[in-house]
Structure 1
Amino acid sequence: MTLTGKQKRFLRARANRLRPEFHVGKNGINTTFLTQIDDSLARHELIKINLLQNTDLTPAAVAAELTSQIQDLEVPQIIGRVVLLYRPALKEKYRRLSLQVAAL
């Protein structure tokens, strides 16, 4: 699934009020981190990840790693050291945002 420009714009507007939920530090990305992100995306559909100053990774490298490890993950935006992640929820009771994105 690839997002259109209109869908990305909608997600960026919704993410404006969000605070980064996860932080990538000097330990980088490990399996526990991936599991936590996967669980959070299953409930929230849209999350922000902040890269701390002590990490050796770039935001583009983090986005590439996460999209290769987590199925159906989209990266609507990368600004500075903040990566925005989106994935439609699998359970119907958590599908609030994905229904609006699909309607665009």
Structure 2
Amino acid sequence: MLTGKQKRFLRSQAHHLDPIFQVGKGGTNDHLMRHITEAIETRELMKISVLNNCMDDPKEIGREAAEAVGAELVQVIGKTIILYKESKDHKTIELPR
């Protein structure tokens, strides 16, 4: 579980990132979750964009994605989701206490 201070730090780190994945009208599926799992292991921090034609709630998609890949949901702002998962092999982000 992330503290407020850690979430603020991760939000500042994610500010300059571009979304890597987009969730469209098909919503989420196992294929997308598998790709997110692989990508977050190397990046630790990522943005996911929810397109306008997706009828699902971005907050629900964020919770679903975080649970499926074992990551922390840092923030859902508008249609952008920020996820964080500490990497085992490619650790680059040092969280504040």
CA distance in 2, matches of 1:11, 1:22: 18
Aligned to 2:91: 95
Q: Which blocks of at least 5 consecutive residues in structure 2 are unaligned?
A: none
Of Structure 1 and Structure 2, the greater helix share is in 1
Query: Match of 1:68, SS?
Result: helix
Q: CA RMSD in A?
A: 0.9
> Post-superposition, which runs of at least 4 consecutive aligned residues in structure 1 deviate over 4 A?
none
Query: Match of 1:85, SS?
Result: strand
2:76 corresponds to which letter in structure 1? I
Aligned to 2:79: 81
Amino-acid identity (%):
35
Q: Relative to structure 2, which stretch is displaced further, 5-14 or 59-68?
A: 59-68
The answer on whether the counterparts of 2:44 and 2:86 sit within 8 Å (CA) in structure 1 is yes
Task: Tell me whether 1:31 sits opposite 2:23 in the alignment.
Answer: no
TM-score, L = length of structure 2 = 0.95
Q: Which blocks of at least 5 consecutive residues in structure 1 are unaligned?
A: none
CA distance in 2, matches of 1:68, 1:44: 18
